[in-house]
């Protein structure tokens, strides 16, 4: 099993659980520095896994052609925030390049390798609950996740035609306390025009409160849920957890937007 974006958070926890269940796990990170830190964390936790650098924006993605894996967790992704009308074009392009274009190029290579080796594999792809509930100044991130969700849903239908025995599961988690959401929200200020600063401060404060209210601290429980699907003979098409966050987001949109 191979996990992209495994240096921390959900990716790390899923890899940790898989390895503790006796699976051979490849855990990949964006940089060599992160690989060393990951190895140290795994050693402290008494977990054995193979760790290496896999930067989606480089030729690292061609490693997919040399690894016989039966399950891919395509989890790596980045986020940025701010209005698409005022933010830097390069920041927008980088989000789509990492989250969509290069991520699915890597997925395509893994899929092709599974087909060539006749491996009845499973491919899990991480999107986000934000695809259903767009929030101001998070449009670039949530729209890239929307693209991911639509692509995976399409691949599920296309696999019915190809019949290669490979299943796709779309993982749409809500907000979890990994530090990712706060870091992304706090980037917004860099792209705000001064004439809209007061309105921005109000929205920014609401969003921080929203994520503080919504975020689940139980990343471990989510990781066990994902691993449970990976180990099932027939996986769900969509794994959307926790349901309560979707309900709270609806309330937020009704009263604050």
Which CATH number belongs to the domain containing residue 95 in this structure? 3.40.50.720
Bridge partners of residue 168, in order along the sequence: 123
Query: Which of these ranges, 54-58, 66-70, 140-144, 215-219, has the smallest mean pLDDT?
Result: 215-219
Return the number of other C-beta atoms located less than 10 Å from residue 216's C-beta. 16
Count structural domains, the chain. Answer: 1
Name the maximum alpha-carbon separation found in the chain: 59
Range of the domain at 107: 2-256
Among the ranges given (46-50, 70-74, 245-249), the one the predictor scored with the smallest mean pLDDT: 245-249
pLDDT at 186: 64
CB-CB contact of 120 with 70 (8 Å): yes
Let me know: does 225 contact 126? Beta carbons within 8 Å.
Answer: no
What band does 129 get if pLDDT is binned at 50, 70 and 90?
confident
């Amino acid at each position: 099993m191979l996990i992209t974006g495994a240096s921390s958070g959900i990716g790390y926890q899923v890899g940790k659980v898989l390895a503790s269940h006796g699976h051979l796990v490849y855990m990949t990170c964006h940089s060599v520095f992160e690989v060393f830190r990951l190895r140290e964390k795994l050693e402290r936790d008494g977990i054995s896994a193979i760790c290496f650098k896999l930067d989606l924006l480089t030729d690292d993605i061609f490693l997919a052609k040399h690894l016989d894996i039966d399950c891919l967790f395509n989890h790596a992704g980045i986020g940025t925030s701010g209005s698409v009308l005022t933010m830097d074009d390069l920041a927008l392009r980088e989000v789509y390049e990492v989250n969509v274009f290069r991520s699915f190029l890597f997925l395509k290579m893994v899929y092709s390798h599974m087909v060539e080796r006749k491996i009845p594999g499973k491919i899990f792809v991480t999107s986000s609950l934000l695809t259903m509930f767009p929030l101001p100044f998070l449009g670039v991130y949530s729209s890239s996740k929307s693209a991911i969700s639509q692509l995976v849903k399409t691949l599920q239908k296309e696999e019915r035609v190809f019949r290669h025995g490979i299943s796709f599961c779309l993982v749409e988690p809500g907000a979890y306390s990994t530090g990712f959401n706060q870091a992304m929200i706090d980037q917004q200020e860099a792209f705000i025009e001064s004439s809209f600063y007061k309105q921005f401060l109000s929205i920014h404060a609401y969003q921080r409160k929203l994520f503080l209210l919504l975020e689940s601290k139980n990343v471990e429980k989510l990781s066990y849920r994902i691993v449970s699907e990976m180990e099932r003979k027939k996986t769900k098409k969509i794994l959307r957890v926790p349901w309560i966050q979707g309900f709270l987001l609806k309330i937020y949109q009704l009263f604050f937007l």
